[in-house]
Structure 1
Amino acid sequence: MKKIIIAIDGYSSTGKSTIAKRLARALGYIYVDTGAMYRAVTLFALENGMFTTEGIDKEGLLKSLGSINIRFEKKKGGEDAETLLNGKNVEDKIRSMEVSNRVSNIAAIPEVRHKLVEEQRKMGEDKGIVMDGRDIGTVVFPDAELKLFMTASPEIRATRRYKELLGKGKEVTYEEVLKNVSERDYIDSHRADSPLVKAEDAIELDNTDMGKDEQFERIYNHTIRFIEQLG
């Protein structure tokens, strides 16, 4: 079958990454977690004291952008790639609430977005890729053959995220997670550079009342039909 670019956008905690990983495995495509890239930059800023009481040391961060190397690597015996920041595996660290509470602010910096978008476009040059994020179908790959936009109610998304964090042994409250989800929604949708919006030609999927298997089957079956129609 013909290889295409599949762009999956949507709000935080809608299961974009889970669906994208599973879809990539089923199709034999490469999966790229763009959210992990922004989280990695956020972790770098945290570890280098770039968050101050006044905000972000934007000048210091921009001077350091050239020294930030992000790549994905499969661990032995695993199917999914993990995030490496300057050669160190940071997969667990970038999923912390500390990073979650700051990543939207880092992602709103135009220079950071421009650097990472450039890297993301290089990853899709040979197609056969599934990429998820906030602006994949609108900015990174506006000509992607298939675009999906995932959404769900804030309460459902907060519940999913809360259970995920508890499962990882994190000490958080549901109220804290819901506040984080709501704040990220606002920042992502209102930033001046590449705000979160649904592409005009994207297929919207509200998975508020869907289980993981149901939404995957819907997306997978649609994708196969779509590719077959391309010939």
Structure 2
Amino acid sequence: MSDASRPTVVLVHGAFADASSFAKVIPALLAEGYGVVAPAVPNRSLIGDAEYVASVVRRIAGPVILVGHSYGGAVITVAGAEENVKALVYLAGYALEEGESLGELQGRFPDSDLAAALEYAPFPVPGSSEPGTDVSVRPDAFPSVFAADVDPGLAAVLAVTQRPLAALAFAETAPVAAWKTKPSWGLVASSDHTINPAVERFGYERAHMTTVEVDSSHLVMLAHPESVVDLIGQAAKSVQA
């Protein structure tokens, strides 16, 4: 049962995964009395995804800790401007500056192994004669690039149940950077082969976040859930204080 004195934790997944990527984190948060919401992010566009997450946040009474993994970090950078968001937590994520895109931030650093493992597929866009482009990770490369320290059986399932990201999301710029006005925490996955850890460090340092490093693959929530829960707890305690 949730504790009314505690903030609600909203968990925002990234690209190539879905809300089930928080499956090892959610039980621990619930056991500690937090309300938890883990929405299914459309992964169609940065602006649209942020608007969707913001609509979820607005329906929650009371303070919110907004947690974003990977691309979800870019989403919470925008959606975190909602009034009841009291803290942001980035997990191996992109912390964009206002007016900056994923492609621009990523382009300042050497490519990770992800770049050579991506595959592209068209998808229909309602009302348009031009298809969109879905970006995903080749299933054979997924375990080593995305989930190297996750149970191999689970990694194999995740590889074939990906939630692709529309290519449009890489080019859209963030209209706001919520970390400028909200206290923020960041986790660097130091063995990340999906996002260059230097990208994570740069964004967190620029935002003056409280930062921790974990020797983990990109899917730190499944590989090291205790570290994730601890960091969320630090953010939540600061809000309660």
User: Smaller-chain TM-score range?
Assistant: 0.3 to 0.5
Larger relative contact order (Cα-Cα within 8 Å, sequence gap ≥ 6) = 1
Name the structure where helix makes up a greater proportion of residues. 1
User: What is the TM-score normalised by the length of structure 2?
Assistant: 0.42
User: What is the TM-score normalised by the length of structure 1?
Assistant: 0.44
